[in-house]
């Protein structure tokens, strides 16, 4: 890398998601004299906070147990809460559902949660941007980090070179591969042997009425299956585009909802049923495994994710375009660009078995979910288990280089990502005394 006109910052943060934000606010609060810049490759700020923005304030939701215990997460959650000032959603009839769940070896977790919705998340991001500006933190959008020279403390971006005193890399799940390349460049070892694979379920609220008592009920079933990210009201299933290490495109579905009270409710609810898969020798890359499953689904869906009505699934028939919205199948899928088909031809038997058993349990706890009209979308893939060899408890991986957030395996959600950013910032401050 050349030396001409290189700008110098005390701290360079890669990624303006919650992990990057958590770090930037902690650093600017405690060390206002630092010259800080946040880069984001996209033209808008704040990563995954733009989607749905349901924030969980109870351990262990979002906190990988490899890096957090209850007390530590609790301490950081308090800080996140102090800053974001959430208004926690009320819950009712919890004991009834919990008793039913217990009888089926299932746990219903009681989580403090707030839901801003995709539109409310955008408003929050605007406020955060204003606050960054007030604190003199530079936000450089549409600028991507491409590589680094750790020895000279220089990064190369899509626009220039920057010198850093300390570097925090928080590129989120979609930056999974970029992070691996960066770790390779720094000579830091990592494993990624865990992945969540599953489906997204969509049904009418009347078939999953628990959401009127508990916005995002977190059920943990046997065999490492859980419900995740429930959305209702004005709720939509979406598809995200990823690329495999060899550049092949594949989709993962996801879900989000807009904030309540605008009279635009579609009466639907969606949530993921995920199974955690831990891989061992000889196949130890969760990413490669997930990519292959994603591409298999692309092959079967003609380049789209698959969807199947429960009514077809239970009798072993594929769903078809002609009959997808007939008779009992009485609501249209919120994700239109999806292929009616047979998810059991694309899913590993072990994953499908675990999820179907959990769905039967769930239907006993909250009767209705197995209504024939319920749609099962596949695949929903969560890749966030890069486990780098950290040098300390502050996510330091190399001289003056720190990681945080979902891409680095230190979190699995907005609040935990924010907390991991604060924790990395504390590490930076300790080294920079
Ligand atoms: C559709 C959807 C809905 C979700 N809903 C919820 C929810 O309701 N509640 C919840 O807790 N979690 C939710 N999540 C997960 C949540 O968004 C993540 O857990 C969280 O955003 C992780 O924060 P992060 O800072 O690690 O990464 P991100 O939020 O992904 O931010 C990383 C940022 O880094 C940028 N970046 C990546 N690589 C580079 C590079 N090389 N150079 C510069 N910039 C780069 C990206 O553009 C991105 O803006 C959802 C995710 C999705 C996709």
| DSSP class per residue in 204-271 | EGGGSGGGGT-SS-EEEETTTEEEEEEEEEEEEEEEEEEE-TTS-EEEEEEEEEEPS-SS---SEEEE
Ligand 1 midpoint to CA 47 (Å): 4
Interatomic CA distance for residues 162 and 148, integer angstroms = 10
pTM (2 d.p.): 0.85
**Nearest ligand 1 atom, CA 20:** 25
Closest-CA residue to 304 (of 253, 257, 374): 253
One domain, residues 186 and 200 = no
Q: What residues contact residue 356 under an 8 Å CB cut-off, 6+ apart?
A: none
| DSSP class per residue in 161-219 | EEEEEEEEE--TGGGHHHHHHHHHHHT--EE--EEEEEEEEEEEGGGSGGGGT-SS-EE
Structure tokens at 107: 């746990």
**Nearest ligand 1 atom, CA 414:** 11
Q: Please give the backbone phi and psi of residue 212, each rounded to the nearest 5 degrees, phi first.
A: -80, -15
The torsion region of residue 63 among left (phi > 0), alpha (psi -120 to 50) and beta comes to beta
Closest-CA residue to 269 (of 197, 207, 341): 207
Interatomic CA distance for residues 154 and 177, integer angstroms = 20
**Nearest ligand 1 atom, CA 44:** 49
Residue 107 in any domain: the answer is no
Ligand 1 midpoint to CA 83 (Å): 19
The pLDDT of residue 368: 97
Dmax (CA) for the chain in angstroms is 69
Helix 117-134 to helix 18-30 angle, to the nearest 10 degrees?
A: 30
CB 367 within 8 A of CB 133: no
Closest-CA residue to 424 (of 17, 10, 26): 26
**Nearest ligand 1 atom, CA 231:** 8
The pLDDT of residue 54: 84
Closest-CA residue to 297 (of 334, 331, 231, 344): 344
Residue 97 in any domain: the answer is no
CB 9 within 8 A of CB 162: yes
Residue 250 in any domain: the answer is yes
Q: Which residue positions in the chain have pLDDT lower than 70?
A: 1-5, 384-385, 433
One domain, residues 182 and 202 = no
One domain, residues 61 and 118 = yes
Pocket of ligand 1 (CB under 6 A): 14-20, 39-42, 47-49, 51-56, 62, 144-145, 170-175, 178, 229, 238, 240, 254, 256, 405-407, 412-414, 417
The pLDDT of residue 238: 96
CB 346 within 8 A of CB 306: yes
One domain, residues 292 and 406 = no
CB 22 within 8 A of CB 417: yes
SS3 assignment, position 84? helix
The pLDDT of residue 2: 57
Q: What is the pLDDT of residues 217-276, one digit of tens each?
A: 999 999 999 999 999 999 999 999 988 888 999 999 999 998 877 778 899 999 999 999
One domain, residues 127 and 29 = yes
CB 35 within 8 A of CB 66: no
The pLDDT of residue 173: 84
Residue 84 in any domain: the answer is yes
Residue 106 in any domain: the answer is no
One domain, residues 182 and 311 = no
Going by DSSP bridges, is the β-strand pair 225-243/268-278 parallel, antiparallel, or unpaired?
Answer: antiparallel
One domain, residues 331 and 223 = yes
One domain, residues 79 and 202 = no
Structure tokens at 343: 């998810």
One domain, residues 250 and 328 = yes
Residue whose CA lies nearest to ligand 1 atom number 17? 48
**Nearest ligand 1 atom, CA 61:** 11
Listed residues 364, 382, 400: the one ending a domain:
382
The pLDDT of residue 430: 95
Q: Domain count of the chain?
A: 2
Residue 426 in any domain: the answer is yes
Q: How many helices (H) and strands (E) does the chain have?
A: 9, 21
CATH number of the domain bearing residue 161: 3.50.50.60
Ligand 1 midpoint to CA 130 (Å): 20
Residue 47 in any domain: the answer is yes
Residue 69 in any domain: the answer is yes
**Ligand 1 pocket: which of 15, 119, 156, 182 to mutate (most atoms <8 Å of CB)?**
15
The pLDDT of residue 115: 87
Interatomic CA distance for residues 191 and 193, integer angstroms = 6
One domain, residues 187 and 202 = no
Residue 288's alpha-carbon distances to 37, 310, 355, 384, in angstroms, are 33, 29, 21, 13
One domain, residues 38 and 165 = yes
One domain, residues 362 and 406 = no
Q: What residues contact residue 363 under an 8 Å CB cut-off, 6+ apart?
A: 369, 370
Domain interval for residue 246? 194-382
Task: Name the burial class of residue 12, with classes exposed (0-12), middle (13-18) and buried (19+) by CB atoms within 10 angstroms of its CB.
Answer: buried
């Amino acid at each position: 890398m050349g030396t001409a006109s290189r700008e110098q910052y005390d701290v360079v943060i890669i990624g303006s998601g919650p992990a990057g934000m958590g770090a930037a606010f902690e650093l600017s609060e405690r060390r206002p004299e630092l010259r800080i810049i946040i880069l984001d490759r996209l033209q808008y700020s704040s990563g995954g906070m733009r989607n749905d923005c349901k924030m969980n304030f109870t351990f262990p939701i979002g906190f990988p147990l490899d890096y957090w215990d209850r007390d530590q997460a609790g301490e950081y959650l308090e800080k996140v809460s102090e800053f974001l000032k959430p208004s926690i959603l009320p819950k009712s009839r919890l004991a009834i559902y919990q008793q039913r769940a217990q009888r089926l070896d299932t746990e219903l977790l009681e989580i403090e949660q707030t839901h801003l919705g995709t539109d409310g998340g955008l408003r929050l991001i605007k406020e955060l941007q204003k606050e960054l500006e007030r604190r003199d933190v530079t936000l450089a959008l549409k600028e991507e980090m491409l590589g680094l020279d750790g020895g000279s403390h220089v990064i190369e971006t899509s626009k220039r070179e920057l010198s850093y005193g300390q570097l925090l890399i928080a590129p989120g799940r979609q930056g999974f591969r970029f992070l691996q390349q960066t770790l390779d460049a720094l000579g830091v070892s990592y494993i990624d042997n865990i992945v969540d694979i599953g489906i997204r379920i969509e049904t009418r609220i009347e078939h999953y009425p628990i959401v009127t008592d508990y916005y995002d009920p977190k059920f943990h079933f046997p065999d490492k299956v859980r419900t995740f990210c429930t959305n209702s009201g004005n709720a939509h299933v979406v598809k995200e585009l990823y690329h495999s290490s060899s550049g092949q495109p594949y989709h993962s579905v996801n879900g989000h909802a807009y904030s309540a009270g605008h009279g635009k409710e579609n009466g639907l609810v969606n949530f993921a049923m995920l199974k955690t898969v831990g891989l061992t020798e000889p196949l130890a890359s969760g990413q490669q495994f997930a990519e292959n499953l994603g591409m298999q689904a692309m092959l079967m869906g003609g380049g789209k994710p698959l969807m199947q009505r429960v009514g077809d699934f239970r009798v072993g028939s594929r769903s078809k375009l002609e009959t997808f919205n007939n008779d009992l199948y009485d609501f249209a899928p919120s994700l239109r660009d999806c292929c009616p088909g047979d998810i059991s031809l694309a899913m590993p038997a072990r994953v499908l078995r675990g999820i179907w058993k959990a769905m039967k349990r769930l239907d006993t706890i909250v009767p209705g979910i197995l209504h024939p009209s319920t749609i099962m979308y596949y695949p929903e893939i969560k890749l966030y288990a890069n486990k780098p060899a950290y040098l300390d408890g502050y996510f330091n991986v190399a001289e003056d280089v720190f990681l945080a957030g979902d891409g680095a395996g230190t979190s699995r959600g907005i609040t935990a990502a924010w907390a991991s950013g604060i924790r990395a910032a504390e590490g930076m401050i300790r080294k920079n005394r």
